[in-house]
Chains A and B, each alone.
Chain A
Amino acid sequence: MQKRVLFICSSILVLALAVSCGGGEQTTNLPPTGPGVAPPGASAPAATATVGGKITFEGTPPPNEKIQMSADPYCQQHSQNPTLETVKVSDGGLENVIVYVKSGMPNVTYPTPTDSVQIDQHDCHYIPHVFTMQTNQPLKVKNSDMTLHNIHAWAEKNPQFNVGQPVQNMVNETKFANEEVPLPIRCDVHKWMGAFVGVFNHPYHTVSKQGGTWELKLPAGNYEVVAWHEKYGVQTQMVEVKDNEKKEVTFGFKADSKPTE
């Protein structure tokens, strides 16, 4: 299960990179543009700077709630000692944190990635549990289970998406037209199943993975970077980077800290 999370998250990251780099190539002949001054139709400058780090976690992670699956024998058979995935800590770092640029990015319209992002329903869990994507990017929803799931995006800024998937391995596709962070996804048949997606109208977003590490490729600029976690809420930091520069930004959450925002 862990491997899948990694795979999906890194593919999103690659996608984000591809988009911003692709956009950058076209702009190399243009005069440098700062935030908010780009002419309409312009694309973002090349993302040559790297911002990244570790989301540290202090204290003993609270145990994740156990799940009672007896309502669906299929789920019960396919999950050993199932729990929620609210707090996932590895090597002292917090996973499943959405890290994204909130302000400071070039004010341009970013091309919509055509590659799709995927969420799978597998052994009555969502894989990945937390992911990010761009507005209007295709989202493929797969049901790997031989039981009915309904995937229900409890959106507030987008129309709600709620589709029943009664056939094993069937795939439906959807997309979200508006930015929404976080957008909760739930299954109304199996109420323990929950996931979160961050939908952005730019490519500067990712999810912390093994060891709580994350990395964003950005054009030179001064950014407000936000880290969001489903239990611990939001933290914000400012970071300024030049072209080709690499900067470390560390966020830290504590086991007993109260959620913010």
Chain B
Amino acid sequence: MSWIYNWVKDASQVWPETKMPSLRLSDQEAADVAGYLSSLRNPDWENKPLPEVDPAALDDVTLEFLRTNSTDIEAREKLKSMTLEQKNLYTGERLISQKGCFGCHQIPGFEKAQPIGTELTEAGTKLISQLDFGFLPIEHSRRGWYEQKLKNPRIFDVGRVKRPEELLKMPNFHFSDKDVDAITGVLTSLVRDPVPLEMRDKTQPAIAEGRQLIAEKNCKGCHLIEGAGGDIRPTFSVQALWPPNLATEGFKTQPLWLHPFLKDPGTVRLRPWLTARMPTFHFTERQAGTIERYFSALDKVDYPFISTDIDTDAEKLKVGADLFTKMQCTSCHPTSNVLPPGKAPEDLAPNLMLASQRLRPEWVLQWLADPQKIMPGTRMPTFFPATADHPEGQSPFPNILGGDVKAQIQAVRDHLFITVGGGRRRGLSTTN
């Protein structure tokens, strides 16, 4: 119970390498979760007795291991001098070493042990003669061998006479044919430096690396990313409570906002009405960078150096302020930290005071033009719907700026960034 409490409170204090993030639970919340979890019991399983040790079998295995570094006679002598517990401990340690459990698990005493698997760095150019086909009637090709290995890793031992410790050790991962095909594809492509470094496209590795980290941390359990995920959504009664869709996140956010947010999401309350929490993953600088590079590579935007200065003038800002009032943006968006009277938190939209520090100016233009295009299903409406006569959109205020949709959107954006958010005007102030 107290172990569970400490774990859910901040797992990284218990085990620094854990993948489990911190949800910044209060003491009471952590106690509630721990209480609930420890009430989940399975008596059948808990009451299952440990299997009896078969002393003869244990002796056989122990002897086999003892023999690997001493003569048969010495080994038998040694065996005789061992208690049952000593045999168990000795054999267990040897088995862990032989089976390579430490390749996946952290086990004290095995920190420096070499992994037991074959190096795969150049699997794509490995000589056919180095692959042991055993007695299998399969095509002698690299692809054929890898496929067979993945489907049934130890089949090459069939018909061979080997000592127990010589047998193949790779576990069967029960891959589907599709997985086998995909992994074989990767293996056969692993060759030494296929393309000179300077000629490689840097966005592809950024995306691949980001995807991997995102899969590892299960970000898609909460977020829609690249159009997939959001598994948590059905647990909420209203859409307003869903964790945000991360479509266009790279194009949307300023690197100087995203970086500290990823490192410590607890400092920002962007959508105070959400009950779900963005966890603190204790990212290293490098990991946070991986995620940032991933989002910007996906959207093909500059990173990390961008300008957020706004090219505008007093006249435009006045028009922007007028449009902002007329369009009643604040009926959904608060511009202070006070909950407007009569509103429930879930009726609200993000506080627009943060926009100038958080959003990329060009993204806001596209967002205001057509929010559904960026996040299908969002509550944020367009005020400039496209019509047959106005495929670029039509403003409800045809007399402002001659009804020019682009100019109106820009004026609203400028108002948001400069007047509401206190952002910088291009060429005006260089003190920073």
Please list the residues of chain A having a beta carbon within 8 angstroms of any beta carbon in chain B: 68-72, 147-148, 150-152, 154, 159-167, 170, 172-174, 188-189, 191
A148 with B396, Cβ < 8 A, contacts A159-B372, A164-B383 known? no
Min distance, Cβ A62 to any Cβ of chain B, angstroms: 20
B275, CB-defined interface residue at 8 Å: no
Q: How far is the CA of A164 from the CA of B380 in the complex (A)?
A: 8
**Given the complex, which residues of B lie within 8 Å of A148, measured CB to CB?**
327-328, 331
Q: How far is the CA of A68 from the CA of B387 in the complex (A)?
A: 35
Min distance, Cβ B373 to any Cβ of chain A, angstroms: 9
| B40-48, B175-183, B338-346 - the one binding chain A | B338-346
Q: What 0/1 pattern do residues 300 to 343 of B give for CB contact below 8 A with A?
A: 00000000000000000000000000111001100000001111
**Given the complex, which residues of B lie within 8 Å of A147, measured CB to CB?**
328, 331
Q: Is the CB of A166 within 8 A of B371?
A: no
Q: Is the CB of B382 within 8 A of A166?
A: no
Q: Is the CB of B397 within 8 A of A167?
A: yes
Min distance, Cβ A195 to any Cβ of chain B, angstroms: 16
A163 with B342, Cβ < 8 A, contacts A173-B387, A189-B332 known? no
B285, CB-defined interface residue at 8 Å: no
Chain A residue nearest in CB terms to B376: A160
Chain B residue nearest in CB terms to A143: B396
B266, CB-defined interface residue at 8 Å: no
Min distance, Cβ B321 to any Cβ of chain A, angstroms: 15
B32, CB-defined interface residue at 8 Å: no
Secondary structure call for the B interface = loop
Q: Which of A69, A160, A166 is in CB contact (< 8 Å) with B383?
A: A166
B205, CB-defined interface residue at 8 Å: no
Q: Is the CB of A167 within 8 A of B396?
A: yes
**Given the complex, which residues of A lie within 8 Å of B340, measured CB to CB?**
71
Q: Which of A68, A150, A159, A174 is in CB contact (< 8 Å) with B381?
A: A150
Min distance, Cβ A184 to any Cβ of chain B, angstroms: 12
**Given the complex, which residues of B lie within 8 Å of A152, measured CB to CB?**
379, 381
Question: Could you jot down 22 A-B contacts, CB within 8 Å?
Answer: A68-B342, A70-B342, A71-B340, A148-B327, A148-B328, A152-B381, A160-B377, A162-B378, A162-B379, A162-B382, A164-B381, A164-B382, A166-B328, A166-B383, A166-B396, A167-B326, A167-B396, A172-B385, A172-B387, A189-B332, A191-B344, A191-B347
* Cβ < 8 Å to A, chain B residues 381-398: 381-383, 385, 387, 396-397
Q: Is the CB of A71 within 8 A of B381?
A: no
Q: How far is the CA of A147 from the CA of B387 in the complex (A)?
A: 23
**Given the complex, which residues of B lie within 8 Å of A71, measured CB to CB?**
340-343, 347
Min distance, Cβ A75 to any Cβ of chain B, angstroms: 10
**Given the complex, which residues of B lie within 8 Å of A69, measured CB to CB?**
342
* Cβ < 8 Å to A, chain B residues 4-37: none
Min distance, Cβ A194 to any Cβ of chain B, angstroms: 13
**Given the complex, which residues of A lie within 8 Å of B376, measured CB to CB?**
159-160
| Besides A68-B342, A71-B342, 12 new A-B residue pairs in contact (Cβ under 8 A), listed by A number | A71-B341, A147-B328, A148-B327, A152-B379, A162-B378, A162-B382, A163-B381, A164-B382, A166-B383, A167-B396, A172-B387, A188-B379
